[in-house]
Structure 1
């Protein structure tokens, strides 16, 4: 099939969301944990977390602004400046998926979806105990994206919790060892499998692919 811009614009809302959310490929599945100033925890799945820089260690994710639909994650981050990012593993993808439901602010997705809150000293936001790789983040900046009304939320890693078994050769993180999963579209999950590991790419060391 060949879809033009006009074809895409004429798709119904759900079809368009599924298609355009899928065309960039598999995205990481992460649960973002927050807590309100009154102590109410919140958990929501995101597929938009991405690396922004290593020094300082910055990650970003995309959210929509609060409006007719409450955005508890973003509101809590603005309130207390801390949140967690927790990798989703294959063992709890279904539980993680249902955190995307519109649940009342007075009810915690941790409890509703059968996941466990975990805290570290001197850090407000809850981690997901079941997650194998998790990060405690400090909010740094929010950037409005005028083209579609979304917001880029930028945070700096304050805590990185990862098992020794996930540290591979040359201090790489071996994601296959922590059973991580990815998302395509709105509701399809994929397991990760390592297919190769190559040296740092230098122009003088490129193999002769023409042979």
Structure 2
């Protein structure tokens, strides 16, 4: 088994280290975040850092890399408007979704570059991704600077939730596997998870 100590990390090839550190923590959610600037330019970008933070109120967290390093159009648009969408990536749009990681100027919409389509619902300012099995409209709540690496942990509240009808079970469980929703392994590895088993809430054995 490969064993690396902390002092070994700095000696690794730069790309090798990035790939290893991004993939060793496990599978991550694969989402497209949709935003629109105040001047009306839509933006869509792939993120693997969206996490559940709470059910009441319904909160999600998103980690942004240091916003001072290079332009972060998604982050800037969220701070400008207070609104954005989270859309799950499914098997049929992997390549188009991944291309949104390319660094385009803020004046260029990734919707125009890729085959992804904008969709607007309920007078929401930010665009949804048409055809996504799960679409969420969120508003900005607060953020925290993670001082160790200068990343930003942004907190947002779900205001509208749209879910493909046939993937919602009778107890409210959303079966992502039924919709071919993918996960991300590292930075560029896309996996199609299969639901094997659900196990009921556990209590201590008597």
Instruction: Work out whether the TM-score is over 0.5.
Output: yes
Tell me the equivalent position of 1:101: 102
Tell me the equivalent position of 1:137: 138
Tell me the equivalent position of 1:53: 54
Equivalenced residues, count: 205
Structure 1 window deviating more from structure 2 (44-53 vs 196-205): it is 196-205
- Return structure 1 stretches of 4+ with deviation > 4 angstroms: none
3-state DSSP class of the match of 1:85?
A: strand
1:133–1:178 contact (8 Å) kept in structure 2? no
Give the root-mean-square deviation of aligned CA atoms: 1.1
Shift of 1:96: 0.4
Structure 1 window deviating more from structure 2 (64-73 vs 160-169): it is 64-73
Shift of 1:116: 0.3
Tell me the equivalent position of 1:13: 14
Tell me the equivalent position of 1:208: none
Tell me the equivalent position of 1:69: 70
Q: Equivalents in 2 of 1:11, 1:136: separation in Å?
A: 40
Shift of 1:100: 0.2
3-state DSSP class of the match of 2:4?
A: coil
Shift of 1:68: 4.0
Question: TM-score scaled to structure 2, two decimals?
Answer: 0.96
3-state DSSP class of the match of 2:144?
A: strand
Shift of 1:72: 0.2
1:179–1:191 contact (8 Å) kept in structure 2? yes
Tell me the equivalent position of 1:3: 4
Question: TM-score scaled to structure 1, two decimals?
Answer: 0.94
Shift of 1:101: 0.3
Q: Equivalents in 1 of 2:34, 2:172: separation in Å?
A: 27
The answer to whether residue 156 in structure 2 is matched with residue 155 in structure 1 is yes
Q: Equivalents in 2 of 1:67, 1:17: separation in Å?
A: 20
Tell me the equivalent position of 2:31: 30
Shift of 1:109: 0.6
Query: Unaligned stretches of 5+ in structure 2?
Result: none
